Amino acid sequence: MATAELHRVTIHGHEVTYRMGGDGPAILLIHGMAGSSRTWKDVTERLVGDHTVIAPDLLGHGESAKPMGDYSLGAFASGIRDLLGVIGVERCTVVGQSLGGGVAMQLAYQHPELVDRLVLVGSGGLGREVNWMLRLLTLPGAELLMPVVFPRFLADKGDGVNRFLHQKGIRAPHLGEMWRAYSSLSGAENRSAFLRTLRAVVDPGGQTVSALDRIYLASGLPTLIIWGDEDPIIPIEHAYAAQGAIEGSRLEVMEGCGHFPHVEDPAQFVAILEDFIATTEPASTHTDDYRQILVAHSQGPAPAH
């Protein structure tokens, strides 16, 4: 079966890993917090027949480097821009899940010339509410408790848990995905990168970064919102708010799915994604177009000539 192979490249002195395969119009898949490109495995296997699929490990995640530095959405978006430049991808449909949704929106905002379509999956950055555990981990001193909460010996247990569930006839892909994220935090470097990433977008009160004040910029960009109706991390109300704020956007609610609909039901997820791509035209938005939209929505004086 065709799949996306793991590649490594050094950008700005830091190793970046990404999975890439297939042939055809490009689709970029951006994972969530404490995740990696591995989360898209079942999706990429279904897409590579007709598309070029790129799934990076964001810095601080997966097998990419975990340097000290900037883990903001803007920095992640710039890193995606640089990766696409290095591998020669000029434009793509951008799919972002959870934190990756925030990165996808930031990429579309900063670099509209790279984005054909926008797909937000259980996305962050669309409201204040978020799971209490993530809020708790932003408190001072959390880094001292994490070695106890996420001990190193658990790092190798994930595959065993998945095998046990499979042997018992229990299909629970969301548990496997959550366990992989949990076990990834057993290493000190991973925990440090995770906390830097988390605290850049969440505080004890909830999400601190919201795209809702500028989401109107996506009005000319074909946008699909996918959400699990049982998402315990980010409430589905954020999906409805985003749909209302993005003119012409499409909302698909996947019943019985939680925060990882692409893992929980990859066949349905890919069917929704492929239908969206087949029934929309890629955007041709460039920086000048965004400038015109910004001026039209601004309340200050027109720029001087």
How big is the chain by its Cα radius of gyration, in Å? Answer: 19
Q: Tell me whether residue 98 is one of the annotated catalytic residues.
A: yes
Q: Is 164 exposed, middle or buried (0-12, 13-18, 19+ CB in 10 A)?
A: exposed
The one catalytic residue among 64, 98, 186, 192: 98
CB half-sphere exposure, 48, CA atoms < 13 A: 17
Q: Is 14 a catalytic residue?
A: no
Q: Which one is catalytic: 210, 231, 238, 265?
A: 231
Give the separation between CA 40 and CA 100, rounded to whole angstroms. Answer: 12
**Is 231 noted as a catalytic residue in this protein?**
yes
The dihedral over CA atoms of 289, 83, 95, 26, expressed in degrees to the nearest 10, equals 80
How many Cα atoms occupy the beta-carbon half-sphere of 82 within 13 Å? 17
In sequence order, which residues have a C-beta less than 8 Å from that of residue 19 and are 6 or more positions away?
3, 4, 5, 6, 7, 37, 40, 44, 53, 54, 55, 56
> Which tokens belong to 12?
């700005």
- Length of the chain counted residue by residue: 305
Which of 64, 259, 262, 265 is catalytic? The answer is 259
For residues 215, 218, 222, 228, the Cα torsion angle rounded to the nearest 10 degrees is -20
User: So which residues are the catalytic ones?
Assistant: 98, 231, 259
